[in-house]
Structure 1
Amino acid sequence: MKTKIRAIVTGATGMVGEGVMHECLEHPDVETVLVINRKASGVSHPKLKEIVHTNFFDFSSIEGELSGYNACYFCLGVSSVGMKADEYYRLTYTLTMHVAQTLCKLNPEMTFCYVSGAGTDSNEKGKGWASVKGKTENDLMKLPFAQVFAFRPGFIKPIKGLANTHNFYKYISWLFPIGRALYPNGFCTLHELALAMVSVTIHGYSKKVIEGKDIISLAKPG
């Protein structure tokens, strides 16, 4: 019997999280979706439950609502541009690890999918964003979840019609087919990213770090 997914999605008021939530709500193998947001998403769907919670460093008041899920699609993230290093570390590493540790305690059978980024440094040698993301990936994989995957998309083509697509995408979307043809590892669609998460949750995967070509392959039917 095929696994039915009960997914928690974070970051659903951002472009990636909204797209992953949208695809999960449409997917026949996803039974229910819980989104945890700092503000209401405005989305209504029979599969959807939403918790508005402002402090992602303290889930104690909502822990009772977080059990019974077998997937987390962690799409919450910030840009390092213009941000002090310690604040970026706090919002990228510390926050992510707190959420993951809470969910692991409540749902140890869970598949945890972390949206990282192309160019992440698994060796943690540098001082920039790539090293912070690398440390986050590495430490997530030490947690006793059933499965942990780090997704490293490059350019992501958004899903048409969703509310939280960044405005600049309408000016650069023409680049996607060119980039995909020349460098497929660096170009995927948001639709493919979400389908790849569903795929690894149900079937697993031989790699823990999921690069662009892996995303494209995992998203293919069958």
Structure 2
Amino acid sequence: MMNTPIRAIITGTTGMVGEGVMHQCLQHPDVEAVLIINRKPSGYSHPKLKEIVHVNFFDLSAIEDQLGGYNACYFCLGISSVGISKDDYHNTTYTLTLNVAQTLVKHNPGMTFCYVSGAGTDSQEKGTGWAAVKGKTENDLMKLPFKQVFAFRPGFIKPIKGLSKTHNFYKYINWLYPIGRALYPAGFTTLQELAQAMINIAKHGYPTKVIEGKDIITLAKQG
């Protein structure tokens, strides 16, 4: 259990999940400081927030001296496998993620690293599709000498109302959420629940390393 305040690095805040996690962290009394690293400015400002704009996530040497002193990372950066080559998907999903993690662990060995993966990820790494790439990414992150590493596998995520990075298609599919949550709660979580679960897991830990939908809901209630 961590009694010290959370000092979190968040990636992917120009996307829906990262923006939501950042939003919850900035509101949360147990989060003392948030560092976001983006390729372009986020447009956000907050007393707890520091932003680094850095284009090349494959080489962090120019900003490495600013990455120490943090005890959590919420890695929300990711891309869809639709419409891109397998090499590009592997490069962004696996190579980039491992490079950032390897850099962070050098400076923050006491860090809890939370990786947003996805429902259906294949821990056995079978095949060459997205599920196997995500599985290899999860597995190799867990070999790094962080304090703890968790792979979050949400299914359908209900966005936080009022945030700017919500995908337009949610306007048309949000009606599915209450039905899905009632019939299959493990596959349907809110973005608030996901963010709260990530905050709570940094504070309290969790007995399993792969965090499925039902675990996200359980963790979000821990307070």
Instruction: Please state which band the TM-score falls in when normalised by the shorter chain.
Output: over 0.9
Following the alignment from structure 2 to structure 1, what is the Cα–Cα distance between the partners of residues 21 and 165?
12
State the percentage of identical aligned residues.
77
Backbone CA RMSD of aligned residues: 0.8
> Match for residue 89 of structure 1?
90
Runs of 4+ aligned structure 1 residues displaced above 4 Å come to: none
Give a deviation string over 1:55-85, Cα, whole Å, max 9, x none. Answer: 0000000001000000000000000001100
> Match for residue 185 of structure 1?
186
> Match for residue 155 of structure 2?
154
Q: Output the amino acid matched with 1:48.
A: L
Check if 1:68 corresponds to 2:97: no
Q: Output the amino acid matched with 1:210.
A: I
Paired residue secondary structure (1:8): strand
Give the TM-score of the pair, scaled to structure 1: 0.99
Cα deviation for residue 130 of structure 1 reads 0.1
Cα deviation for residue 221 of structure 1 reads 4.1
Paired residue secondary structure (2:36): strand
Q: Output the amino acid matched with 2:114.
A: C
> Match for residue 200 of structure 1?
201
Paired residue secondary structure (2:113): strand
Q: Output the amino acid matched with 2:122.
A: D
Matches within 5 A, 1:29-178: 29-178=30-179
Following the alignment from structure 1 to structure 2, what is the Cα–Cα distance between the partners of residues 143 and 58?
18
Q: Output the amino acid matched with 2:158.
A: K
Give a deviation string over 1:98-130, Cα, whole Å, max 9, x none. Answer: 000000011000000000000000000121000
Following the alignment from structure 1 to structure 2, what is the Cα–Cα distance between the partners of residues 3 and 179?
37
Cα deviation for residue 3 of structure 1 reads 2.4
Q: Unaligned regions of 5+ residues in structure 2, if any? A: none
2:200 and 2:222 in contact (8 A); partners too = no
Following the alignment from structure 2 to structure 1, what is the Cα–Cα distance between the partners of residues 58 and 101?
11
Paired residue secondary structure (1:6): strand
Task: Say how many residue pairs are matched.
Answer: 222
Q: Output the amino acid matched with 1:211.
A: E
Q: Unaligned regions of 5+ residues in structure 1, if any? A: none
2:75 and 2:116 in contact (8 A); partners too = yes
Give a deviation string over 1:11-69, Cα, whole Å, max 9, x none. Answer: 00000000000000000000000000001110110000000000000000000100000
Cα deviation for residue 2 of structure 1 reads 2.4
Paired residue secondary structure (1:22): helix
> Match for residue 212 of structure 1?
213
Following the alignment from structure 1 to structure 2, what is the Cα–Cα distance between the partners of residues 220 and 203?
12
